[in-house]
Amino acid sequence: MKVNRDVLLASVRKARKACDNSGIAFGASRSDYCLKVEIQDDILSLTGSSSGAMIVADVPGERESDETLESRIVEAERFAAMINILKTDDVYVRLKKEKVEVSDGTMKASIPSWRGAYPKIDWNLEKYKLVPIEHLRDQANQCSHALMRDVGQMLMRSFGISIYKDGSRVIALDGKRIAIRGNGSGEAEKKFAAEGKTLTTLLGVASDAEAYVSDDAIIFKNDTIKAYMPLLDMEYYNIDKVLEEETKLKVNVSKDDLLQKASMALLLGKKEGLLLQVSKGELVVSCRSQTGTMTSPVPADLEGSLEGLRITINPAYLCDALKSIPDERITLELAGKTKPLFIRGDGYCEVILPINNI
């Protein structure tokens, strides 16, 4: 089949994203590192699949009259590298009995291929609900720092997502911090939990596609790409009680000023923590460790009581939160030295537990 080289390469890279996430959610198998190359009429379809996701990218082309085989499986990375080396506008992809051949008209190269069965996905959308995803990708990206990185509880490696008529809300937490983006009015029309890294990948690959959610899966679909991801068969954490914590002091500061101080503290000593001390008209930021010390005031507007409060937090968590917030000024909300630190604004909320409470 004759196809445009740039369109083919972009589609290979998209389909490979499913392979790149192999093992993240449910473990890996041989097909997690392969692509299914399939010819249907005048469409070359590339399918990447793992236990946690499937991505199908379609490439329009011109089918050659002598083509008989319709699908083969190849090693994903090597196939992508072969396409990348070719530099002509159009290339040929031919499916042979034991190999897949690519050609630019003068050079031919092939890699081994084999037959195999991929999971069959029902792309019928009758049982799915169309959901708005205009802001879902940004919300997920801005919350991803709070996902658990190590192998642990699946929910802590996942997003909790609520879909409303007028928006969406995404939550991520790892037991020591919480990140929330978005909001909506009234009761949520849909709530589900989805493995974090895989969902973030699919939102990037299918950024211009529509999203459909059922009770057990989410599908992204447009004219050239389809992506499927199973949802977790479990309810996400209820964090309402945490968010209802009554705070007694609000500290409004420059985000960049505080981020600079937190970054220095992170460099000097993550384990020892970052000490925040509220005094009249300022927030004093300091750290002390075997590798160095730092003390610096941050001009602040204070509202409420608890002047003189001291709270110690992980500087890495504060840096992650501040980097994900677009506002130039942010408001820290405090309830006590053993209570969570809140950073709240329009469409976002960050919660960080103090070190002496972890």
Per-domain residue ranges for the chain? 2-112, 129-239, 245-357
pLDDT tens digits for range 150-171: 767 899 999 999 998 888 999 9
Quote the percentage of the chain above a pLDDT of 70: 94
Euclidean distance between the first and the last CA atom of the chain, given in angstroms as a whole number: 59
Q: Which of 129, 128, 137 is nearest to 164 (CA)?
A: 129
pLDDT of residue 32: 53
Q: What is the mean pLDDT of residues 222-248?
A: 93
Q: Is 138 helix (H, G, I), strand (E, B) or coil?
A: helix
**CA-CA distance, 43 to 58, in Å (whole number)?**
6
Q: Which residues contact 16 (CB under 8 A, 6 or more apart)?
A: 35, 48, 76, 77, 80
Mind listing the pLDDT tens digit for each residue in 196-212? 999 999 999 988 899 99
- CATH topology agreement for domains 2-112 and 129-239: yes
129-239 CATH:
3.10.150.10
**In which element (H, E) is residue 294 found?**
strand 292-299
Residue with tokens 């604004």: 345
Q: Is 332 helix (H, G, I), strand (E, B) or coil?
A: strand
Structure tokens at 132: 């708005």
SS (H, E, C) 193-236: EEEHHHHHHHHHHCCCCEEEECCCEEEEECCCEEEEEECCCCCC
- To the question of pTM greater than 0.85 for the whole model, the response is yes
Architecture of the domain defined by 245-357: Roll (3.10)
Q: Given the structure tokens 């006590």, which residue do they identify?
A: 336
Q: 2-112: which CATH architecture? A: Roll (3.10)
Tokens of 67: 């083509």
More confident residue, 253 or 307: 253
